[in-house]
Structure 1
Amino acid sequence: MTDAAPTPGGYAAITGEIVDIALDYPDRRAWWACFGLALLLLLSFFVSVTVLFWYGVGVWGNNIPVAWGLAISNYIWFLGIGHAGTLISAMLLLLEQHWRNSLNRFAEAMTLFAVVCAGLYPLVHLGRPWLFYWIAPYPNTMTVWPQFKSPLTWDFFAVLTYLTVSILFWYIGIVPDVASARDRARKRRTQVFFGLAALGWRGSAHHWARWRQAYRLTAAIAVPLVVSVHSEVSLLFAAGPIPGWTSTVFPPYFVLGAAFSGFAVVSMIAIVLRHALGLQNLVTPRHLDLLAKLLLATGLMTAYGYWAEVFDTLYAGEHQEMGTLLDRLGGVYAWSYWGAVVANFVPLQLLWFRRVRVQPLLLFLISLSVTVGMWFERYMLLVTTLYRDYLVSSWREYHPSFWDWSLFAGMLGVFLTLFLLFVRFLPIISSFEVKEALFEEKGKKEQAHG
């Protein structure tokens, strides 16, 4: 059963309700206010990057032994946010779950923009970012190849592959709706823009057959990438002989945590767009209920990862591992550990009740708490492990500098700017898939009464 409520006026009304948002945005004043704030944050990004390139990474709070600081912590956080879009869209497409139709388009866009932000962090973290292509295995006159044992090379392939597949999956899915916008557009420049983006789509049977093949094939490629990409990120930690990181639970722990944070952000975006654009008949309480259930399920799985990590450390009884665990529980950075535990799992328990799951404001606040809690977790995993090395002489506390925080604010600006442009100029819900689901539901009802 589809979860989108029938729209008065039939299928054409559904197309108009969705596509007309891109052609004639309903509340431009509110959009410009949000876009102005995003541009201010984006300015922070350009200023921070300029200072970073001029003076070097010494402007950050990184030191010895905390050579990885806020930049890599935020890289993992952004990359994790990007996982829910692929899970909602690609996996549920292959499972033929029609309730995804009202969520998949902006969830895919969220994935795309979050991966862009994540990919920027390793680039600006390099000493000479303009030579980032040296990481790629390309033929060169000096026959110098990348060091495939280096985590930087793993990052390059993981992020580039995930970004490429995410772009293809998102773009293939949006082509029919872009063609609808082209056909409904009245201004010449809008017709040209959507016409070029539609790639000559005319909606013929041949076009639809090829489209379905390409869409499902890309989805089948994207689903394993959800597991492989964040497993690779976890191996950046587990491959090093650092106490607190050498754990076999890290790959599933990171994947589930990424899905957990991603579903939280998708829930927040769905609630905001639902309210701002009046999409209550397309993003229904049932959608909120299902998103909340996914958030609760992945949250409980992530909580199991916390428990398993503590259990493994206590069971092994290794002195250095025990020291790291005790430091997380009551050391200098205990606030990050307990902040992650409280923010991630205490408000989450309210989602056992359906009345909370379908209440937009409560779900938004719980999702916001989870997003903040997962940021605490990434920070905790990095800093509490690195700031006390094996040698007491190497112990040193880590404190992010002003430029660490300004770059983080700037990355939020990159994400918000891209997402607001998407909301303003492109269809944010898959209208043809919503109509297809309604048509199938109507056919089933006719058969049942026939």
Structure 2
Amino acid sequence: MKQYEYISVYKSDETDFSHNGIRILCPTECKITEVLNGEYSLTLTHPFDDLGNWKFLIEYNIIKVQGQLFRIYRKSTSMSSDGTKQRTVDAMHIFYDLNFYFIRSTQSGILNGPDALNWIMSHTYDKRGSFTTGKPIDRFKFYSDLKGDTSYENMPFMHSAYYEDMSPTKALLGADNCFINVWGGEIIRDNFNVTINKQRGMSNAFNISYGVDMTEIEEDVDLSDYCGDLYWVGKYTYDPLKNGEEVSAQYNGIVSFHRFNLPPLPVAPMKSYQISLTETQVRQELGNKFTIDDVKSLFNKKVQDYMLLECSPVVNYRVTFANLVDFDLYKGFINLQRCELGDIGTIYNEELGINTIQQIVKKTVDGITGEVVSIELGSLRKTITSKGRINGGYDSVRTELIKNEIAANNTWYGLGDAGYTMEQLNATWDELAENNIIHTEVE
């Protein structure tokens, strides 16, 4: 097990976290929860101790636990019936310090992932009460592999977005047109280092079964998107173009993929799907020698892949490991403790008789022992997006996690939804302004 430093608390304005802070803490409870592309938070409970360490658990001070920094935004103090006094604090990962900065208005050009991140941060106000922009926020470093290239497998991640009157956190995670929604990717937050890569975790990280007699794991099955039959239309464009005009052929068909006994409805559930392939793309899949029947078979394969991802039941699992310790039946699930957030694997559902692709979308860790307390597994979906026509998944492909937390609710703006109000802070925003003066500049 990886050994970390002491659980420590630092002053709100600390910049050097290589020491043990102003106090070393001995909490009775400490839990870290991270949601893929969402919440990253800490809840810590500390008793009233003779050294008075608990007194330093106040708003905006910073806690370091398991090597990560969290800024306190809420505290509560209580006394139990036996006279035990304790303080509980809630904190957000230091990444959410980006909520204290502001984007007034900026329109990016057509950029790839790394350039878009740089654009967002270089158009962020880095001084309170000022219209001055253009200076990167020095503390935070941003990285991304969403560069794309000219290969068939990795089409360029080139997009544009407009951001107005929001924090950079919302521009990255919370807004409808946030970076995650436009450029895609999965975020990795390591203190002041922020990485948004195409995929965060490992593929094929686990392969386990869920049996009909299992009762200690929460399971949700949703058939609202299940589709047994799909009508598809495929457009095959020949290269090179003749006389500058597009030459193409069109094919269509119905693909059936009945995983369940459908009820005797007048018409079976149907959906339609359009897919386009060029001759260049087909050659990269089939080689230089192929027939029209080969092309039709390739269309069928692409449609079946789409159907597997987009028309399957949504199955999610919530696993609390304390419930499973004494049950051999759950060995496969217990092994998930070794997996990381974002890891992808397969779970075979015995009752449904299907395999589902699952991704670890939420993980809660005991900050004192480092042990995994619980995880949530979400059915993995691929959202096929294209500016124009749907292109069979060869344009921008980004991961959508079913029943994930809404990222916007995990920004400071959304903390009110969690029971947090500004009145609970010791200072108002006006008091936090430099020298208690509100600065105004005219562009």
The structure that is helix-richer by fraction is 1
Which one scores higher on RCO, CA 8 angstroms, separation ≥ 6? 1
Look at both structures and tell me which one has the larger radius of gyration over its CA atoms.
2
Is TM (by shorter chain) over 0.5? no
The structure that is strand-richer by fraction is 2
TM class by smaller structure: under 0.3
Normalised by the length of structure 1, the TM-score is 0.21
Normalised by the length of structure 2, the TM-score is 0.22
